[in-house]
Structure 1
Amino acid sequence: MDLTVACVDALWPLASQAPQAWLSPSETRRLERIRGPGRYREFVASRCLMRMLLSAHTGFERGWQSWVLEAPDNASPVVHACGLDGAGLHLNLSHSQGLLACAVFHLPVGVDLEVRRAARLRDVAGLSELVCSVQEQSWLAGLPDEGARQSAFLQLWTRKEAYFKWQGTGLDLSLLPAVCSQTPCPLQSAIAAGTSLAGEWGGRGFDLSVCAGASPIEVRIRLLEGVACLAPAHSSPWALTALSGRA
């Protein structure tokens, strides 16, 4: 799997060059519905990033603008081969506060990215009751301090959201407690494996997780300007277990 993390500002000089010439009709329709300059820039930059990643993944050298992508509502981007070596490839994208993460794989893949907000403390105790299993709640409560709980909760969240994006169902809040990360609480019958990493961008930390099925993932990471990886993906494998069998 290839994974790229980049900020909108670093991509914008390239992405803003006549996007109407390389966006597909469905992407253009999505863009026309977007209100607000920040979201506009993010959408165009993300579409540029996906094409750049496809070119790097396949070794295609005739220009990233040649890729044709569809942009279905409420679903992952779709790759059209269009004479290129793109058949059977799967993309997934996540964004948070001006930072983008995109993964490409030969199987369905889910990716979730969350930039940490230093001035904002989450109600970990309350949120964990809503989205975590009993085992995860116990693990979080046993961590030594609030900073550790904040960081651990965000990592659990990205893993769960990446899982649902891999499933293609979208985030289902009612099923979140039924999906348990094995890192803090090893369980049997793992149904999805993935990997996580932590990084830094613009003086803030971020957490990122990818999920692509039941086998361990080998991830090649590319970080664009201003993004640093603090913990390599291969150092943090994890698996998810459906506790209730519903997910």
Structure 2
Amino acid sequence: MLYKTEGIVLKSIEYEEADKIVTIYSKNFGKIQAIAKGVRKTKSKFGSSLEILTYAIFLIYKGRNVDIISQTEILESFFSTSREVVKFAFAANCVEIVDKLTEERETNIGLFNLLKEVLHYLRKTNDPKLLTLSFRWQVMSILGYKPSLHHCCRCDKTINDQKEVYFNIKEGGVICHNCISKNKEGCIQISLYFLKLSRKLLITPLSVISKATIPDIRIKELEKITNLFLTYYSEKRFKTETFLKSLKKD
């Protein structure tokens, strides 16, 4: 049986002498793994369509043990000719997050569209870090880990613009003044700026965020809380983070 779907290549690894095993996040079937026969031969019909960050239409044969990629048609090749190493690294981080946070064959069109958007706008933005951090918050929200930013995690009281604001990673959001006075364990003090910013990032399209910039000190706070939240709820470590950190030192 043949099936057809749009998809974005998350990972592509060499297999045996001339094949590749490709992980694709597809629009219609979620994450799928399939083999491309003879792709590493000089005259392969697939060209660059199976490279990481490629958005394409895939025609795939449903095999008994493994699916086989039959044909491909590139729709957009993100960063294929780009020399912007930093933006490429952020894009690679985005696909690694989707790969590690999803199970095979679980369809999520919202996540597929979000991934396609972040890769598209990463090429244009002046602040790839802000865009990627926003993507992480929205991914977590789509996957059911949306933080509580308007109401206290403990008592459900509305959080207004109080002078001291605290965030608890394990409890999943902000803690009100009254609850914090009783128990501060595991709580991180955050700025009111962060609270307002994170609320906006969860509901603002990436096309809008891609045009924005925020001060360095604010990015550092956003990055710290985002990474703690993502690591705790995903229970994953991301290899691309090491590369991103090495770029900061250069």
TM-score bin (small chain): under 0.3
Give 1 or 2 for the bigger CA radius of gyration. Answer: 2
Higher RCO, 1 vs 2 (CA within 8 Å, ≥6 residues apart): 1
TM-score, length basis structure 1: 0.25
TM-score, length basis structure 2: 0.25
